[in-house]
């Protein structure tokens, strides 16, 4: 079976490392970027299965970030947002983007793995 490719956009190196490690352990291929601008070319030119985008308190620009992801995501890849607070969750849920899921931080890796697996169609019943 081919590994499913996950694009993880997370500015916190420790969180990115933890999530990447856990996803790789579940047989996903993970490509990590520190921010959306670093991921721009990749999002426009490559095939992948899921985008996991982490909002942070420091780079949160409201709708502009959501619109930017929508613009860059030309292949309509499923998106999972990781939100820092309930205001971000509300903004995401009220956006016009087709959001596959929004998870409030701190992220429980097992939940993220379950959501990602469901989205790419490889749900494992032993997760949660």
DSSP states of 22-63: HHHHTT-EEEEESSHHHHHHHHHH---SEEEEE--SSS--TH
pLDDT at 54 (0 to 100) = 87
Q: Are strands 79-83 and 50-54 parallel, antiparallel or unpaired?
A: parallel
**15 band by pLDDT with thresholds 50, 70 and 90:** very high
Average pLDDT, the chain: 81
Q: Are 31 and 42 in contact (CB under 8 A)?
A: yes
pLDDT tens, position by position, 26-81: 999 999 999 877 887 787 777 888 989 887 655 555 556 666 777 766 667 888 88
Supply the CATH classification number for the domain 34-120.
3.40.50.2300
- C-alpha dihedral (111, 112, 116, 118), degrees to nearest 10: 10
Q: Cis peptide before 86, with omega less than 30 degrees from 0?
A: no
pTM for the full model? 0.81
């Amino acid at each position: 079976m081919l590994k499913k490719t996950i694009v993880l956009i997370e500015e916190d190196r420790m969180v990115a490392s933890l999530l990447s490690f856990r996803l790789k352990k579940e047989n996903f291929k993970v490509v990590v970027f520190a921010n959306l601008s670093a991921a721009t070319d990749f999002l426009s030119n490559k095939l992948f299965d899921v985008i996991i985008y982490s909002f942070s308190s420091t780079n949160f620009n409201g709708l502009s970030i959501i619109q930017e992801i929508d613009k860059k995501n030309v292949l309509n890849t499923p998106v999972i947002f990781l939100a820092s607070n309930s205001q971000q969750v509300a903004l995401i849920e009220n956006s016009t983007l087709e959001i596959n899921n929004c998870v409030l931080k701190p992220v429980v890796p097992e939940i993220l793995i379950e959501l990602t697996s469901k989205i790419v169609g490889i749900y494992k019943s032993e997760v949660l």
